[in-house]
Structure 1
């Protein structure tokens, strides 16, 4: 493995794949109340949780805040539960299959072999995340489940029309990366695949089980990839040669070759975003931002835009003094 990537981070445990509800990256610590015994231990229920200020930023949560600050609060600070969706869970399953396929020798990385991995990976997913079993609780005959698994098979098959895994030897799969900027802002995330050429050039690859966006929305789609490229650059002083989005839903591959100026712009954007998050955390002002995406939000019952009331804010609130929000640094790590 190329030394530019090998110690960029540690792999997450199996069974904790991305794209299943709230991302697996931990961005707000949840601790027991000081001096209090855990609540619910005796009766088997979950212990009481006490929120603290956000301590890091991932691409998913950065996108949440840009989409709707209140959604960010619900997910990161309140940590409200969200029901698993068929689409997100299918994405998790497909990601797991594409990751595990590279465990096999190159000659065995075929479409039939990949499809044969689906039942076992589905069993592992249900074991590690029992809540996904609720998706098909009202399907006693298994007809919906069969169609859903068939859709996952078609996505896996389409991948073979876009890339040839027998000719790929990834340097990393499902790589957890984390970097602290000079400002103190901690960036973290999980990269689907990292390829390193014999010349040392790095390619970051991300699988998407949906369809490719229209050209006018391509920049938004690349935000996540530029985020990862920034983290790799800050960790290893290496600008990735290529960023590649593989859209299994439509059979498209979107590529972008970043330059240093791109990553510097993303860093400035993230610092400004973190300042806005810091200010909202201190003041408790998390305003909703209605869009067409609201129809898919699990938190309408708590959203003022739908007549709901947010839960009591779990953090201390104080009016920030002029210039009191430092750039990047906020709260405990």
Structure 2
């Protein structure tokens, strides 16, 4: 059965793969190494922090009785949630340094616009989720352990499963869409292996422009995707043994905190510390922000 845990709980430190870390390795093996093995600090962006705030408000909104899940209730949750999150994460102050930093009213208004867009896409008073911010973990027949967090899980009386993910950015073009579906197929595999049911629908809600993307997987596709995840993990293990985590330069490098130490740009990363004896998926609160 699935397991739920608080969003900030530290999962058991067994070797595992999460959707964010699998995406990191696909994007750039060196990025994976610096995040998972070296554990170098990174500065959160305002967009990431806002994403966490909006996710928190939506999670708390669904803790209300259905008839109380309206725009006014969401608005009332916004400021207390921000006060609490900001106190828990003093390191976020860095994201608000600088002359262009928004005032508190401006910042909350930017999050409010995303919440308003959510109500254009769904009426939460009509929904009965089984869980929000659900921690899932399973092990494939290959021995690969998968874990991650699902924003919302809807289960119909007949047993049909819908996985819902909130995205606080805009609906992506083809490349970004493939990355988003990679994450959702990951969750679909985990749920299929845990419950023996292929999710009927994977649904992404893009709050920046009030768009949505839905996808219906099938069992053959999920079997193929399992093989993809196994191949990614084997590639990670080979890189871990050799220490050969090569950079993969792309346009995304401009947003990477580690660009100054990347060999592709003339930098030098720390000496490889070796493959750790214990390696978790290291899914962080920032990974669940969008």
Within a 5 Å distance, the mapping from 1:95-134 to structure 2 comes to 95-134=55-94
Select which of 239, 262, 265 maps to 1:303: 262
Counterpart contact for 2:117–2:207, Cα < 8 Å: yes
Select which of 201, 222, 237 maps to 1:242: 201
Aligned residue for 1:147, secondary structure, equals: helix
Paired residues, number: 280
1:118-176 deviations in whole A, cap 9, x for unaligned? Answer: 11111121122221133224469x84433222110000010000000000111010000
Counterpart contact for 2:96–2:102, Cα < 8 Å: no
Counterpart contact for 1:93–1:121, Cα < 8 Å: yes
In the other structure, the counterpart of 2:219 is: 260
1:57 equivalent to 2:17? Answer yes
In the other structure, the counterpart of 1:76 is: 36
Where in structure 1 are there 5+ consecutive unaligned residues? 1-6, 17-23, 30-53, 318-329
TM-score of the pair, normalised by structure 1: 0.79
Q: What is the distance in 1 between the residues matched to 2:149 and 2:275?
A: 31
Within a 5 Å distance, the mapping from 1:39-54 to structure 2 comes to none
Counterpart contact for 1:25–1:188, Cα < 8 Å: no
In the other structure, the counterpart of 2:233 is: 274
Q: What is the distance in 1 between the residues matched to 2:275 and 2:209?
A: 46
- Higher percent of residues as helix: 2
Higher relative contact order (CA 8 A, sep 6+): 2
Q: CA RMSD in A?
A: 2.2
Q: What is the distance in 2 between the residues matched to 1:125 and 1:206?
A: 21
Counterpart contact for 1:25–1:189, Cα < 8 Å: no
1:332/1:147 CA distance change after superposition, 3 Å: closer
TM-score of the pair, normalised by structure 2: 0.91
Where in structure 2 are there 5+ consecutive unaligned residues? 281-290
Within a 5 Å distance, the mapping from 1:147-186 to structure 2 comes to 147-186=106-145
